[in-house]
Structures are given as C-alpha cells and as structure tokens.
Amino acid sequence: MHRLLNRHVAFAASALLIMSSSTDAATESRWNVLFIAVDDLRPKLGCYGNTHIHSPNIDKLSAGAVRFERAYCQQAVCNPSRTSLMTGMRPDSIGVTGNHSHFRSNHPDVVTLPQHFKQHGYHAAAIGKIYHGVFPDGASSTMWDTMGDAESWSVPAIRFGPRYYYTEEGITAAKSIYEKVYKPTNPGPEDWTKKLVFGPATESPVVPDSTLYDGQVTDSAVKTLQQLKDTDEPFFLAVGFIKPHSPYIAPKKYFDLYDNVSLPSHTEFPANAPAFAGHGSGELRRYTDQPTSGVISDEQQRRVRHAYYACISYIDAQIGRVLDELERTGLNNNTIVVLYGDHGYHLGEQGLWGKTTNFEPDSRITLIVRAPGMKAAGKSNESLIDLVDL
C-alpha cells in the first residue's frame, strides 16, 4: 500500500507538472481534448531514443509535451486495456479480461471518460478504434459496426474497415480463407471485406494513404476538426488508429524508409521462466505466409519487423496530418493532446511475436501528453504510471 501511495503521489505531481502553465488554468475557458489511440504501438519511436524509427511527427509532438518513460498498460490485450482506461477500473474490477466481453454487461451504469466529458457540456466524438468494439450481452452485430458503447458519445461513432488487403496476392489469399472459414452460400463480390480474415502477414501496396483504413480515419478527423473550429462547444475528440496491429500493411513508400532491418539480440525464451509466461506466437502464425509451428526463418522475421516499422511511419504521417490541422484551425491553442498505445508488442524478443504477456515489450506503452502553455514541454517523466491513471 505504501508503494502504491507513493506511485500515485508521484503521478499526481506529474499531472500538476503537465497542467502547469504561464496562466491560471482556472481563469481559462475550458480546454478541448484530442485523444489519440494507436493499436499495438510499443514505445519504439525516435523520441524514445530509437533513432532507426522514422517518426518525425510524434517526435515533434513529444518535443512540446511530456513523454512518460515508465508508463504501462493494465493488461496487454486490446479490450481489457482500453476498457480499463475508459472506465477508470482495472480489468478484474470491471470484469473484462479478454476480447469478447463488454464492460456494461456487469457494470451498466459506469461512467466512461468521454461520457464524463459529455455530461459536463462537451461534444464527445469518436473516429476509428477507441473501444475494442464488442457488444454487451452478446448483442447481434459485428465489431466493425460501432465503437462498442453508444453512451460514451454525443454523436454516432465513425469507424471504417475491416478490409486489409490491396494487392492481388493478398486479396486472393483473404478470399480463400473467407471461403474456408465462413462457407458463404451466396457470397457477394465484396462480402469477404466485411469479415476478419487472415491472409499474408505483410503487404506493401502502391496506394495513396487514404486508400487504407487509417488514412480514412485521418480524413474524417481532419474534416471533423474543421467543423469543430466553428462551434463554441468544447470537445473531446477520440481518434483511433489500428496499425501497427497485424496484418502489417502500409503503403509501399513507408516500407522504402527502411533497409537492413536487424533482429533482436535475445531471441530465446528465458530458460527458467514458466511456460505460461509466454505463448506460441499464434497472432503471427495465423497468417497464411507464416509457419503454423516451428522455426520462423530470419528472412520472415526481418520482413515482419520491417513491416511493423513501416506501419509506425504510416501512422506517424496520419498523426502529423491531424496535428497539422489542429494547428491550422488554431484549436491547438486551447486543446490538450493525449497520445497513447493500448499496449506494447513483441517482435521476436524472447522468441515471442505479438502481445498478451507481462514481459516489458508487451506491457510498457507509449504515452505523451501536451497541454497549452505547459512549463514541462519537452521533458520526459520517469514516474511509474499506468493507463488507468488517465
């Protein structure tokens, strides 16, 4: 308890550091919030000391913000992590420890973070992946039809997808898997794009950014900011990007930023660690171009790491477009920006691929916070915190 108290005292001090500005915040009009979520984003960015990663826009944001060096998720799985953050309750308390349960099934009256803003006069809107997207009590729908919690938002949330593949090879593989898994009786020409299907793990199509899911999220976010600048109502705008989540797909120009991708130095599962601390890397092995068991070749590992880096750079470009629009509209002068990753990710370290473990690569996350006029701009913070502290 003593250590827990010290941790929260440290975070409270950090929060005060963040919110400190050259003027009294109480005398200012209410600040907006731009809340940016990135799926599977480990803190391997230029601003975190990884100079081989091309992330100029996130690095620019960090230069005017506080970057948290020791921030962690509550559980390295999408739904528990996001639910915990959005409700302020830890996974065991909210009853969400997997990807197929909804927090309102057991806690129907919980007030979420955006719902709190909405109840206090804010326009709360969501674009892209913010919640994981499941429905309470197994309601009939797909995860792509909603953000998973209508009570949180002032207007219906916007989400695209789930089409992943854009090359002929990728489309062929995805359609084949669709036919095997779903066995459609009268499949339409695009029915496979409405299901989660797993073709190849990587793809680098020669397409504009806005052809892909996250480019469409960016287009919608930019348009929404243009609309919000002409209103007097403060806003909480959540923008969720799905890459670098697998499959690792980004326009080819982002792949071209990288060459000679190296492998991690420690690629063996720790000798004395219990088996249940790891897994079989099933998230990667489910793709059609990966071995279902056994050794993943060095060539395949480099390709996956290369593609993951390309996805980071693709998302960095999308975040840059959103932040540029925030500045162009003048909204940056009274908008808090929060950028976070819902959990980390293994890229071959300890012989693991994907997330779900409690090892450092999975549990440590990206967290950057910028507030107007903050005195701590450009500083890093070593306080031990987790996403529920938000």
**What does the H/E/C string look like for the chain?**
CHHHHHHHHHHHHHHHHHHCECCCHHHCCCCEEEEEEECCCCCCCHHHCCCCCCCHHHHHHHHCCEEECCEECCCCCHHHHHHHHHHCCCHHHHCCCCCCCCHHHCCCCCCCHHHHHHHCCCEEEEEECCCCCCCHHHCCCCCCCCCCCHHHCCCCCECCCCCCCCCHHHHHHHHHHHHHHHCCCCCCCCHHHHCCCCCCCEECCCCCHHHCHHHHHHHHHHHHHHHHCCCCCCEEEEEEECCCCCCEECCHHHHCCCCCCCCCCCCCCCCCCCHHHCCCCHHHHCCCCCCCCCCCCHHHHHHHHHHHHHHHHHHHHHHHHHHHHHHHCCHHHHEEEEEEECCCCEECHHHCEECCCCCHHHHECCEEEECCCECCCCEEECCCEEHHHC
Could you tell me which residues are beta bridge partners of residue 367?
Answer: 340
Q: What is the pLDDT of residue 189?
A: 61
Q: How confident is the model at residue 190 (pLDDT cuts 50, 70, 90)?
A: low
Q: Is the pLDDT confidence value at 307 over 80?
A: yes
**Section 370-390 average pLDDT:** 94
* Torsion sign over Cα 163, 166, 172, 177: negative
Q: Is the pLDDT confidence value at 136 over 90?
A: no
Q: What is the pLDDT of residue 198?
A: 85
Which of 352-363 are b and which e, b meaning 16 or more Cβ less than 10 Å from the residue's Cβ?
bbbbbbebebbb
Q: What is the pLDDT of residue 168?
A: 87
- Whose CA is closest to 113, among 78, 145, 143, 89? 89
CA distance 68 to 152: 27
For residue 234, is the peptide bond before it cis, meaning its omega torsion is within 30 degrees of 0?
no
Q: Is the pLDDT confidence value at 275 over 60?
A: yes
Q: What is the pLDDT of residue 192?
A: 64
Q: Is the pLDDT confidence value at 1 over 80?
A: no
Q: Is the pLDDT confidence value at 43 over 50?
A: yes
Task: Kindly report, residue by residue over 339-351, the tens digit of the pLDDT.
Answer: 999 999 999 999 9
35 phi, psi to nearest 5 deg = -115, 105
Q: What is the pLDDT of residue 313?
A: 98
Furthest C-alpha separation in the chain: 65
Q: How confident is the model at residue 188 (pLDDT cuts 50, 70, 90)?
A: low
2-164+199-389 belongs to CATH 3.40.720.10: yes
Q: Is the pLDDT confidence value at 12 over 60?
A: no
245 phi, psi to nearest 5 deg = -55, 145
Task: Kindly report, residue by residue over 206-225, the tens digit of the pLDDT.
Answer: 999 999 999 999 999 999 99
Active site (catalytic) residues: 78, 132
Q: Could you tell me how many residues make up the chain?
A: 390
How many Cβ atoms from other residues are within 10 Å of residue 164's Cβ? 23
**Section 148-173 average pLDDT:** 87
Q: What is the pLDDT of residue 123?
A: 98
One-letter amino acid at 173 equals: A
Q: Is the pLDDT confidence value at 32 over 70?
A: yes
CA distance 281 to 264: 16
Q: Is the pLDDT confidence value at 334 over 60?
A: yes
Least trusted range by pLDDT, from 66-80, 95-109, 183-197: 183-197
